[in-house]
Amino acid sequence: MANKQTVLGRITQLAKANINALLDHAEDPAVMIDQLIRDYTNNIAQAEEAVAQTIGNLRLAEQDHAADLAAAADWGRKAAAASARADQMRATANLADAEKFDNLAKLALGKQINTEGSAAEAEPLIASQSLAVDKLKANLAAMKDKLTDLRTRRDSLVARQRTAEAQLRLQDAKSRVSAPDPSSEISRFEETVRRQEAYAAGQAEIASSSLEAQFAELGEPSESLEIEARLAVLKAGTPSPGGPSAAVDGGQGARPTLLDTEPRA
């Protein structure tokens, strides 16, 4: 049971490590920034839609306000016209018509007052909406500026990432190269060759010394051997083979000895 739990624990740790490695590998800065740009672009589009709707409502309110003001002015003109007609009727002693036009003037004045009240009520709302629209426009412009800056920084970050990746690949390639420095190997080979050359020279010197010794032993005259040879010649009554030769006397005379060759006084 314990072994089973240990195996399961190792499998879990391995799975977590693999998942983390995949997440780290998948978190490509260029991909992540591109996604941020897309999300921010969508936010700007939504903000533009909201600002456009707010501006549209403001323009409608402004149009209604303008219409109320125009209507109030029109009702004022109508009231003035009815009042003037009533005054004309009174001048002609037509009191019934005069009263009727006065009532029309009053009705027009009432309409004027109502439309002026509507216009007055709309003015604070229009003013607040105008401020809100101005702020929304400023915020929208700031968002667009940030989007431009984000795109610029994205290009810079991607370029830096590519440079960093190239440097990492270069360093990795360098670390994978295990060949030694050629100059050190050449130096080692040179030292080996020098030792071999010195050894060969030593062998040649030894061989030369031995050969010279042998030839010296064979070729050097030995004083003792020369003495023994000359003594043997003397005992045999013949001239020494190593002595100086004399002139032959008709080819029959004896060779002169060493004493005969000494100069006379």
User: Tell me: the pLDDT tens digits for 194-226?
Assistant: 888 888 888 887 877 765 666 565 555 556 777
| Model confidence band, residue 25 (pLDDT cutoffs 50, 70, 90) | low
Is the pLDDT assigned to residue 250 strictly greater than 50?
no
9 with 111, same domain: the answer is yes
> Which are the contacts of 95, defined by CB distance < 8 A and separation ≥ 6?
89
| Model confidence band, residue 153 (pLDDT cutoffs 50, 70, 90) | confident
We report the CATH number of the domain holding residue 53 as 1.10.287
126 with 208, same domain: the answer is no
Last residue of a domain, one of 176, 203, 230: 176
Q: What percent of the chain has pLDDT over 70?
A: 70
User: What is residue 253's predicted lDDT score, i.e. its pLDDT?
Assistant: 46
Residue type, 23: L
User: What is residue 7's predicted lDDT score, i.e. its pLDDT?
Assistant: 54
H/E stretch holding 248 reads none
- Domain assignment of residue 42, yes or no: yes
User: What is residue 52's predicted lDDT score, i.e. its pLDDT?
Assistant: 92
192 with 171, same domain: the answer is no
Last residue of a domain, one of 146, 176, 206: 176
- Domain assignment of residue 97, yes or no: yes
Residue type, 230: R
72: domain range? 2-176
What is the Cα–Cα distance from 141 to 74, expressed in whole angstroms? 41
- Domain assignment of residue 8, yes or no: yes
Distance of CA 14 to the CA centre of its chain: 31
- Domain assignment of residue 253, yes or no: no
Token pair listed for 58: 């403001």
User: To which residue do tokens 């978190």 refer?
Assistant: 27
- Domain assignment of residue 263, yes or no: no
- Domain assignment of residue 170, yes or no: yes
163 with 141, same domain: the answer is yes
Neighbour count for residue 5 (Cβ, 10 Å): 9
Q: What separation in angstroms does the CA of 250 have from each of 241, 243, 244, 258, 261?
A: 20, 20, 18, 20, 18
165 with 195, same domain: the answer is no
| Comparison of pLDDT for 202 and 14, the residue scoring more | 202
Neighbour count for residue 86 (Cβ, 10 Å): 22
25 with 142, same domain: the answer is yes
14 with 118, same domain: the answer is yes
User: What is residue 128's predicted lDDT score, i.e. its pLDDT?
Assistant: 92
7 with 57, same domain: the answer is yes
Q: Say if residues 87 and 98 touch (Cβ distance below 8 Å).
A: yes
203 with 83, same domain: the answer is no
How many domains does one find in the chain?
2
Contacts 24+ apart (CB under 8 A), 124-129: 125/61, 126/58, 126/61, 126/62, 126/65, 129/54, 129/57, 129/58, 129/61
160 with 86, same domain: the answer is yes
135 with 33, same domain: the answer is yes
- Domain assignment of residue 82, yes or no: yes
Section 33-48 average pLDDT: 89
Encode pLDDT of 93-141 as tens digits: 888 888 888 999 999 999 999 999 999 999 999 999 999 899 999 999 9
| Interaxial angle between packed helices 29-91 and 95-176, expressed in degrees from 0 to 180 and rounded to the nearest 10 | 170
- Domain assignment of residue 254, yes or no: no
102 with 216, same domain: the answer is no
